[in-house]
Amino acid sequence: MGSDIRFGWTGAIGSVILGATRSEGGTRKISYRVGGGTTLPFLDHAPASSPLVALEICDEPQYWPQIVRNYCGDLVDDVSAWATTAETVYGADLIRLYLTSTRQRNFSDIPLVGKAVEEVLSATGLPLIIEGSNEPGIDSEVFQKCGEAGEGERLLLGTAEAGRYRSIAAAALAYNHSIIAQSPIDINLAKQLNILLREIGIQQDHIMIDPYTGTLGYGFEYSYSAMERIRFSALKGDADLAMPMICSAIDSLTIKEVREADTAYQDEMAVAWEFYAGLAAAVAGAEIICVRHPKTVGRLKKAFTSLKTGSDPTGRI
């Protein structure tokens, strides 16, 4: 079945390599080639890759959703242990480290940033996504430090925006990392940013598009369509949009529906919200789905397995 549909695509999604094993010059246990699709998601007969699930963690938990702090307990105070658990217990494919410590007022302890990255690198063998500073004033130093600390590891660095991409691009160029290019739910702005990045020297196979994801009920439909359109244009041959996409509906755990849910099933609500958004985003074209609730990780991975055409009997319908 399926051989009956013809879309007449002329393009394909490019790929980005994340993580480097010892033989590739890094210290990761595994590296991934993300992207490479040649048609709509999950319709490839021999899919190049399945979407990956990243668990988001941070180095300063006061800025993290209460619900994760409740669920994980003391773990959130120890970023290394958190990273190890994400790999060994929660089963994440990737870890996305938010350097939330940089959000503290007048933050200036730049070496701390490098230390956090190094600690997480040694605590896990998974490829890393690093979210740098939230404050333009310290971007330059923070990204330099992140890039340097992860040299050779082929990190994915976040997040470049139209008005703010130079430091992150510099870190990617200097230390051979890839970057997340985020634009506010608009295909043309996404394209524009990719062109700006190309002009500064970033190769196409070092960019992942983040079209920005509003969570379910909070603009998710816009993000969903933006992702569908980006994938569509890329397949139609627009090389400036032919990068794999990353999605993180980060508000999922702080919206009213989840925040105000009865404590008895608050976790379940959180997971449902992340899961439904994450699955739909993958169907729209996202190749890395980022979540914060540990329980969402396994569920999404199982669903993606079943989506790889009929390969897993446990996913039977």
Question: In angstroms, what is the minimal distance from the CB of 19 to another protein?
Answer: 21
Task: Verify binding: residue 212, another protein, rule CB under 8 A.
Answer: no
Task: Verify binding: residue 117, another protein, rule CB under 8 A.
Answer: no
Q: Which is nearer to another protein, 42 or 112 (CB)?
A: 42
Cα dist. 61→2, 64, 150, 200 in Å? Answer: 47, 5, 22, 34
**What does DSSP assign to residue 130?**
E
Task: Verify binding: residue 105, another protein, rule CB under 8 A.
Answer: no
Buried-state track 227-260, b at ≥16 Cβ within 10 A, e below 16: bbbbbbbbbeebebbbbbbbbbbbbbbebeebee
Interacting span for another protein (CB under 8 A) from 62-70, 93-101, 118-126, 228-236: 228-236
Burial label, 192 (beta-carbon count in 10 A; 0-12, 13-18, 19+): middle
Task: Verify binding: residue 190, another protein, rule CB under 8 A.
Answer: no
Q: Round to whole Å and give the CA distance between 311 and 295.
A: 23
Question: In angstroms, what is the minimal distance from the CB of 37 to another protein?
Answer: 13
Sign for the pseudo-dihedral over CA of 285, 117, 104, 67: positive
Task: Verify binding: residue 167, another protein, rule CB under 8 A.
Answer: yes
The correct pick among 96, 177, 191, 292 for binding another protein (CB under 8 A) is 191
> Strands, DSSP E only, in the chain?
15-18, 32-35, 52-58, 94-98, 128-131, 156-160, 178-182, 207-210, 245-248, 286-291
* Per rule CB under 8 A, count of chain residues that contact another protein: 81
The tokens describing 67, both together, are 């619900």
Question: In angstroms, what is the minimal distance from the CB of 160 to another protein?
Answer: 12
Q: Which is nearer to another protein, 79 or 185 (CB)?
A: 185
Instruction: Convert residues 230-269 into a mask of x (bound to another protein by CB under 8 A) and - (unbound).
Output: --xx--x--------------x--xxxx---x---x--xx
Interacting span for another protein (CB under 8 A) from 53-61, 65-73, 93-101, 143-151: 143-151
* Residue list 29-88, contact with another protein (CB under 8 A): 40, 42-43
Question: In angstroms, what is the minimal distance from the CB of 184 to another protein?
Answer: 10
Rg (CA), the chain: 19
